[in-house]
């Protein structure tokens, strides 16, 4: 599903965020991406949804070298990848359901289909009651779930999460992880960049550790590596 071949990313500032990284992630896999701050986790996710392009190497998603996509082909990729952000990136002047429906509206989905999918996405994340509230009226965990609902409403085969529990208390973090597990059970490939030791340790999923832009550990059923911040 996802494949990185000798991928390096050097930012224009000269920072080497990723160095000759190789990684393969199969369909329906659930992968934690861990490493100290500045290791290159967010950079790797950005390469996967082509918010950044690699300086060297290839990034393949569904067999397509996405570094070579033209601007015209980019929307096709983005429609197949859902992204959850630490800062939610919700539209503050729209209701919860409008925020979720937004992802479908821009694609020209029919109104009935939009309503149906928005409802089921909000049901899944447990925000049916909050559908008509504004994001500002929600707690952080609820906003994170809205962001999640928006990311999956188009049922993309790949879901990328950048510190989805970064701002949340342990209980809410677990809610989010349970949701991700359920989504993963439906066949969605999920990559989660996180610092949350407790969660990584108890989920016993594949853990990929990067440090200084290099892959240093890849455990099939791992925990949070010792000595990593």
Partner 1 sequence: MPNRVLTFWRQAGFVAEEAVASVTRSGWMSGIVVITMTVSLLILGGIWQLSDDLYALTRAVGAKVEIMAFVAQDGDTAQLASAIDELPGVASTQIITKDQAWQQLQQEMKSQVDFSGLLQDNPLPDTIRVKVQDPADVAPVADKIQALPGVEGINYGHDLLAKLEQIMAFVQMAGLLVVGALMVATLAVTGNTIRLTVQARRREIEIMQLVGASAGFIHWPFLLEGMIFGLMGTLLASGLLVPWRSFLLIRLQELFPFVPIDADGLAMVRLLSYLLLVGMGVGALGSLFSVRRHLVAASGQ
Buried b (16+ CB within 10 A) or exposed e, 73-86: eeeebbebbbbbbb
Judge whether 20 and 216 are in contact, CB under 8 Å. no
| CA nearest neighbour of 156 among 177, 115, 186 | 186
68 sits near partner 1 (criterion: CB under 8 A): no
Residue 53 Cβ, how far from partner 1 at the closest point, in Å? 5
Binding mask 184-213 for partner 1 (x = CB under 8 A): ------------------------------
Tokens of 226: 């010792």
- Site stretch for ligand ATP (CB under 6 A), options 24-32, 40-48, 89-97, 130-138: 40-48
Distance CA 65, CA 6 (A): 13
Among 7, 41, 144, 173, binds ligand ATP (CB under 6 A): 41
Residue 43 Cβ, how far from ligand ATP at the closest point, in Å? 3
Among 25, 31, 40, 81, binds ligand ATP (CB under 6 A): 40
Residue 15 touches which member of Mg ion, partner 1, ligand ATP, none, C-beta under 5-8 Å by kind:
ligand ATP
Helices (H), the chain: 41-48, 74-79, 96-105, 111-124, 140-152, 170-185, 197-203
132 sits near partner 1 (criterion: CB under 8 A): no
Q: What is the DSSP string of 83-99?
A: EE-TT----TTS-HHHH
49 sits near partner 1 (criterion: CB under 8 A): yes
What is the size of the binding site for ligand ATP (CB under 6 A)? Answer: 12
Find the helix packing angle between 111-124 and 96-105, rounded to 10°. Answer: 130
198 sits near ligand ATP (criterion: CB under 6 A): no
222 sits near ligand ATP (criterion: CB under 6 A): no
């Amino acid at each position: 599903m996802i494949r990185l071949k000798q991928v390096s990313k050097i930012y224009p500032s000269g920072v080497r965020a990723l160095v000759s990284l190789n990684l393969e992630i199969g369909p329906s896999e659930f992968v934690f991406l861990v490493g100290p701050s500045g290791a290159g986790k967010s950079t790797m996710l950005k390469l996967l949804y082509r918010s950044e392009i690699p300086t060297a190497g290839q990034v393949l998603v569904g067999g397509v070298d996405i570094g070579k996509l033209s601007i015209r082909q980019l929307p096709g990729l983005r429609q197949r990848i859902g992204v959850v952000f630490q800062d939610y990136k919700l539209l503050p002047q729209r209701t919860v359901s409008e925020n979720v429906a937004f992802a479908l509206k821009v694609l020209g989905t029919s109104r009935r289909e939009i309503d149906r999918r928005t409802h089921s996405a909000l049901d899944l994340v447990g925000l049916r009651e909050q559908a008509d509230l504004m994001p500002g009226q929600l707690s952080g965990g609820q906003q994170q779930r809205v962001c999640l609902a928006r990311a999956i409403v188009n049922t993309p085969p790949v879901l990328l999460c950048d510190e989805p529990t970064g701002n949340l208390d342990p209980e809410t973090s677990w809610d989010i992880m349970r949701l991700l597990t359920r989504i993963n059970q439906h066949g969605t490939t999920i990559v989660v960049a996180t610092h949350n030791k407790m969660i990584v340790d108890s989920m016993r999923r594949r853990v990929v550790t990067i440090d200084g832009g290099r892959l240093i550990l890849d455990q099939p059923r791992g925990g949070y590596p010792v000595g990593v911040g």
